[in-house]
Amino acid sequence: MRMDSSTLAPVLQIRKCGMEDLERITALLRELGYPTTVNVMKERIEGMENNPLQCTLVAELDNEVVGMIGLRQVSSFSKQQESITEITALIVSEEIRGNGLGKRLVAAGEEWARHKGCCKLFLRSGNRVERAPAHAFYQHIGFEKTAGYRFNKALL
């Protein structure tokens, strides 16, 4: 029996990022306005690949990478023996946002964090007006907005 491909549901897989994903990861970062190159991303992924405190997962829909989440386990100085996980990147391709893929990526990130013994997940996001939809999404899936500032200093 042959099935018409138009009636098949798309297949979603969330898996660990590999070198074969470099071009799509680079394109996703560029989509959000972060200039990068495949060579730069190759160096970053190679640096993270064997680090047990970091993980990059990709969302693959019908064999095409359409989203990613970057995770990093962090130890807390303020609370003894508490490990937390930071979401360092969360990107869903613009053309499919709003279909639950971001929520699924965050759920996969939560699973990784729990497996590592972490008790909290956090992320940082700019306070620019164009980030408002992302902020609404974070709050919708259970993140709480906390007070604070991010300070940067260039090291020359």
Q: CB count, 10 Å around CB of 108? A: 18
53 domain residue, yes or no? yes
Provide the pLDDT for residue 148: 74
Asked if residues 133 and 126 have their Cβ atoms less than 8 Å apart, the reply is: no
Q: Which residue from 135, 134, 111 is spatially nearest to 121, judged by alpha carbons? A: 111
**Residue 113: inside a domain:** yes
Is residue 147 in some structural domain? Answer: no
CA distance 40 to 29: 12
Confidence at residue 39, expressed as pLDDT on a 0 to 100 scale: 94
- Say if 150 falls within a structural domain: no
Please list the residues that pair with 16 across neighbouring strands. 57
Q: Return the closest-CA partner of residue 112 out of 92, 86, 135.
A: 86
Domain-located, residue 146: no
Q: Is-contact 28 91, C-beta < 8 A?
A: yes
Sign of CA dihedral 114, 117, 120, 124: negative
What is the rounded CA–CA span in Å between residue 2 and residue 19?
35
Whichever domain contains 15, its CATH number is: 3.40.630.30
116 lies in a domain?
Answer: yes
Residue with tokens 């991010």: 150
Full domain range(s) for residue 32: 10-140
Low-confidence ranges of the chain (pLDDT < 50): 1-4
Domains of the chain: total = 1
Cross-strand bridge partners of residue 64: 61
In a domain, 4, yes or no: no
Q: Please state, in angstroms and rounded to a whole number, the distance separating the CA atoms of residues 28 and 22.
A: 10
Tell me, yes or no, whether 99 lies in a domain. Answer: yes
pLDDT at site 15: 96
For residue 50, the model assigns a pLDDT of 87
Owner of token pair 């946002």? 97
